[in-house]
């Protein structure tokens, strides 16, 4: 199912803004029109973040565009959506985000081989400004080296 129309929606800013410590793959609890919009690639996780409430993990501010072929029943584009993780993973995330400076950020939204929507999330710690500068400098250096290699 995913081989015909691969869906791979990424949060490119996450690696630049955060230091990624631990990654998890979670299922998402979705309605009918939501999964149809995701399969069409009409979703965004750039401004999204995750929270732990009452032993459950939710993603907030994830935008899924309304499905254009639906009838009167439509979903809310920025509704909170429950993430499906096991209890051990939720407890681990909950302990870490109670510490100062940690958060849960979405990295990638994709459709797996069985046709289910999955979200790759990471436990992250915010980078300082000098860390971001070092990353940009390393990226520029790598680009310059690749140009020199290509010339020879």
pLDDT at 15 over 70: yes
Tell me which CATH code domain 8-127 carries: 2.40.280.10
At 2 the pLDDT is 41
3-state secondary structure 56-88: EEEEECCEECCCCCCCCCCCCCCCCEEEECCHH
At 66 the pLDDT is 85
Which one is predicted more confidently, 46 or 70?
A: 46
Mean pLDDT of 79-97: 91
pLDDT at 1 over 60: no
Sketch the domain layout of the chain as residue ranges. Answer: 8-127
How many Cα atoms within 13 Å fall on the side-chain side of residue 25?
A: 7
> Residue 50 CB: number of other CB atoms within 10 A?
25
Q: How many residues does the chain have?
A: 152
């Amino acid at each position: 199912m995913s081989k015909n129309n691969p869906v791979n929606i990424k949060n490119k800013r996450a690696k630049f803004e955060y230091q990624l410590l631990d990654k998890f793959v979670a299922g998402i609890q979705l309605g009918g029109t939501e999964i149809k919009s995701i399969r069409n690639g009409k979703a965004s996780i750039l401004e999204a973040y995750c929270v732990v409430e009452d032993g459950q993990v939710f993603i907030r501010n994830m935008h899924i565009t309304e499905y254009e072929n639906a009838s009167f029943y439509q979903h809310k584009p920025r509704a909170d959506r429950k993430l499906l993780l096991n209890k051990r993973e939720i407890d681990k995330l909950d302990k870490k985000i109670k510490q100062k400076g940690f958060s849960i950020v979405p990295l990638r939204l994709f459709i797996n081989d069985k046709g289910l929507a999955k979200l790759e999330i990471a436990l992250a710690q915010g980078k300082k400004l000098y860390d971001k500068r070092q990353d940009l400098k390393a990226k520029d250096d790598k680009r310059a080296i690749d140009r020199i290699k290509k010339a020879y």
